[in-house]
């Protein structure tokens, strides 16, 4: 997930994504990640990610981590 911030969803060559995610036109930023992590199937119907992260503090921690992972 390094570099996910600013990247189009489903765009890493060779990775397995659902067609729904590849076709979502999402560019990952903190807001898009928060919405997707909270309710993946509501944000991207047909995604293969089935379980969300209902706790807002946990989502925020994940997003902070991912923002830092892009800097490495």
Domain ranges across the chain: 19-69
Mean pLDDT of 12-18: 95
> Do the beta carbons of residue 27 and residue 36 sit within 8 Å?
no
SS (H, E, C) the chain: CCCCCCCECCCCCCCCCCHHHHCCCCECCHHHHHHHHHCHHHHCCCCCCCCCCCCHHHHHHHHHHHHHHCCC
d(CA 62, CA 45): 22
CA 46, 21, 42, 63 torsion-angle sign: positive
Residue 1 is predicted with a pLDDT of: 82
Query: Is 0.75 surpassed by the pTM of this model?
Result: yes
- Express each pLDDT in 16-53 by its tens digit: 999 999 999 999 999 999 999 999 999 999 999 999 99
Rounded average pLDDT over 7-15: 96
Q: Is the pLDDT confidence value at 72 over 60?
A: no
> Given this model, what pLDDT does residue 69 score?
83
């Amino acid at each position: 997930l390094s570099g996910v911030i600013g990247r189009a969803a489903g765009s890493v060559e060779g990775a397995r994504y659902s067609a729904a995610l590849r076709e979502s036109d999402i560019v990952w930023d903190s807001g898009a990640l928060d919405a997707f992590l909270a309710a993946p199937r509501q944000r991207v119907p047909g995604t293969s990610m089935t379980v969300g992260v209902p706790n807002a503090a946990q989502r925020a921690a994940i997003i902070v981590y991912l923002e830092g992972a892009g800097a490495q």
